[in-house]
Amino acid sequence: MACIFCQIINKEAPAEIVYEDEKIIAFKDIHPVAPVHILVVPKRHIDSVEDLKEKDRELAGRLILVAKEVAQQFSINKSGYKLVFNVGRGGGQIIDHIHLHLIGGWKKNAIRS
Ligand code: 5GP
Ligand code: ZN
């Protein structure tokens, strides 16, 4: 069975999609940790940052640029936001389909932890 993010990409599982192009999709995280919590995901299944190859350079860069675009869409580009890749179990990665977390929308400045 395809991974849950591949299922979302293939429209076999529901998600609140906020951005989509030929290579990348972005949808709302099901358990948001902030007022805005979006996952930016390449449509091609790659397990994690650890599996990125030199040939994926453009795709990896696009993830950041799409995150930036979605931040604008949600009007958090001015207030600021976090972009996070969790890598591997030790890095907090639960879903083994590479994704970039776009997190923001707090009322005040995010408190550093
Ligand atoms: P990770 O810990 O792997 O970096 O992040 C996985 C994220 O995916 C978590 O924040 C989790 O809430 C989210 N997530 C897991 N399953 C689903 C799902 O079926 N739909 C959506 N929209 N988000 C999911
Ligand atoms: Zn997948």
Residue 31: φ, ψ to 5°? -125, 75
Residue 109, amino acid: N
Q: What tens-digit pLDDT sequence spans the chain (113 residues)?
A: 899 999 999 999 999 999 999 999 999 999 999 999 999 999 999 999 999 999 999 999 999 999 999 999 999 999 999 999 999 999 999 999 999 999 999 987 665 54
**How many whole angstroms separate alpha carbon 44 and alpha carbon 37?**
21
CA of 29 to the centre of ligand 1 (A): 6
User: Tell me: domain 4-104, CATH 3.30.428.10, correct?
Assistant: yes
Ligand 1 cavity residues, CB under 6 Å: 4, 15, 27-31, 39, 86, 92-95
How far does residue 16's CA lie from ligand 1's centre (Å)?
12
Query: For the chain, what are the domain ranges?
Result: 4-104
- Residue of 99, 84, 76 lying closest to 25 (CA atoms): 99
pTM over 0.75: yes
